[in-house]
Amino acid sequence: MSPFSGKPIFPHSNKIRNSSEGKLIINFARSAPKIFGFRSGKQALFDIKSETSYNSYLSDKSLVLGLKKPNCIAWTDIPELEHQDHVIEARFRLDGLGGYAAAGIIFRMMHDESYYLALVSSKGYFRLDLIKNNSPKTLIGWTEISDFNSASDTALTKKREPAEGVSFNMSIITYGTYLIFLVNNKWVGKTSDDSITSGRIGFALASYEESAEQKTISGEQDDQNMEHKKPLPAANREKPEHGEYVCKAYLEYISIDTRLRSIEDSFRKWNDDSNINAEYRLRLAETFAAMNEYSKSLEQIEKAWKRRDDTIRDVTAGYSKVRTRRELLLAARMSSRLEQYKEAEEYINMIIDQWPDSAEAKLAYTEKMRLLTELNKFKELKDFAIKHSPQIDNDADYFALLARSLWELKDYKNSADAWEKAYKMTCSKTVQQSSEPEQSAANGVYAVNAANANENAKRKKKALSLYLAAGKIFLNQDNIPELAALMPKLASLGANDWEARALIGKWAFSIEDYKKCAGEFETSEKIRLAQKKQPKPDPALYYLWGLTYHFKGSKKNAVTMIEKAVKLAPDYELFRAKLAEIKGKDKSGETKKGRAKTKKQTDSN
């Protein structure tokens, strides 16, 4: 919820540098701007500047801004006027040239590193960002604009000449800390923020993705971080050919109204719930939910419901509240996150009672299980989960929640089985971070919980196997704290298990306790070799064991061990390279950084 009161902090905050209250209109189809009420006789025009990555220039009917590289933002602003409160209205045409781009208004711009940025994308989404001292903060994430494409098509058909891209209008009302936004005369968002109170206004363009054709032409991979480009002097201006751009935007019209009465009238109109469609608020609620802004999301849901209820009440005698399954599920989740459990349960029950076989009901069942867990109602949770098992997605979340209830009820055997099911379900999934290869999404915590439950159920052999599985997951994830927490269990249950002693040795290597590492590896190998049916040896064990000798300066023993590793895994380049390196040296000298790198590279073996 907003910490600010309903009364604007700056009720008379429309002070403008070098000017009084007034209205500026720039229609680029005309030769000069219209200025009403400003004392300054200086025409407030955009400072059109360019550099190598973007270009701005005037065409016959618009101010054009074109970017020549993806993943950057550029702007051109009006340097003569600084505003606090105002109503901005602007008309744009945006052409992503086959890629993904967004255009809009930069306002309250103190300097090049502090401003608000409101954008509308070529895919029909709106967003608002605050950049303060070059540190960005999203105030409203990407929010879908209702009927954006149809509205853009209508705008295009009104043009005298055919045009590419999408056309849209944007309005911004700033009144003290309040910021209200409209696109194509439809309310898309409102927030309150006092980070910046005044500044300049500008026209901005952002590029996110190149088209496939542009990528082929450039042959380059650009940095994925958004680059904010500062204008350079006009002497550097250039007007490249169309093919050099990744996106272009055209500002056709802009007006800036700083008259107090106009600002108050606009704020009053668009702050009134009766003028805001419930659907628009629900879209914003979904955005806030995705941003983990639970209070703001729930506030928008409740206002949307009130707006809809008022409309129905006006036209229907037999009034009844209308709530959709999707809305109720979102409201339940937001209420639960805010620990408003009574309201959350009410919304969940409404879904289950009215639409028991719907897709939302499946999600509601799981949400209720989470809710009962938060309320520590474990007996009720167990009964609910078993009773509604056919209606609930029996996924990893289901079994984890069921396992938790059984654990709390001291039914360790069934808890262990449920935890193990949850763990095994995660083993079949993979995750990918950035350009790294896909990795298993196996949940080591589920495996630990299953092991704990098995240990309490006196199934020690099963417990050890799951502790080992969890340890290998943590080792591959470089999760040393979780791995360290397992060491007492492995030492206790796995004192005579070669895999457990090997894992303890690998953990010791990761914390650079090479003496303990070598000792554990030696014990592990003795246990393995003593077994009647010997398990296959672990090449990573020999490799790391060899490195402990190498760090102590024992080249002969190091070579012997790493040769064993190479023999077991002849195609693994790391083993062969390290062997060649050690054979070519007469002294050790591995740095801590090199040891850490070596440990990480062998984790997956």
Which run of H or E residues covers position 34? Answer: strand 34-36
For residue 257, what are its two tokens? 């109204």
Neighbours of 336 (CB within 10 A): 21
Helix (H, G, I), strand (E, B) or coil at 121: strand
CATH number of 23-271: 2.60.120.560
Q: Where are the beta strands (DSSP E) in 258-374?
A: none
* Cα distance between residue 74 and residue 226, in whole Å: 10
Nearest to 509 by CA among 545, 464, 552: 545
For residue 558, what are its two tokens? 């190091």
Residues 6+ apart with CB under 8 A from 374: 336, 339, 341
Helix (H, G, I), strand (E, B) or coil at 27: strand
Torsion angles phi and psi, residue 82, rounded to 5: -120, 135
* Cα distance between residue 93 and residue 321, in whole Å: 41
pLDDT tops 70 at residue 445: yes
- 186: which strand partners? 183
pLDDT digits (tens, 9 = 90+) for 73-124: 999 999 878 889 999 999 999 998 888 899 999 999 999 999 999 999 999 9
* Cα distance between residue 541 and residue 539, in whole Å: 5
Half-sphere exposure of 335 (CA within 13 A, CB side): 20
pLDDT digits (tens, 9 = 90+) for 262-314: 999 999 999 988 889 999 999 999 999 999 999 999 999 999 999 988 888 77
| Burial class of residue 551 (count of CB atoms within 10 Å of its CB; 0-12, 13-18, 19+) | middle
The answer to whether residues 392 and 398 touch, using CB atoms and an 8 Å cutoff, is yes
- 144: which strand partners? 125
Candidate from 75-89, 190-204, 211-225, 409-423 with smallest mean pLDDT: 211-225
Torsion angles phi and psi, residue 118, rounded to 5: -110, 125
Higher pLDDT residue, 214 or 94? Answer: 94
The sign of the dihedral angle between the CA atoms of 255, 260, 265, 267 is positive
* Cα distance between residue 542 and residue 569, in whole Å: 11
pLDDT digits (tens, 9 = 90+) for 394-420: 899 999 999 999 999 999 999 999 999
- pTM for this model (two decimals): 0.77
- 173: which strand partners? 87, 180
* Cα distance between residue 562 and residue 539, in whole Å: 8
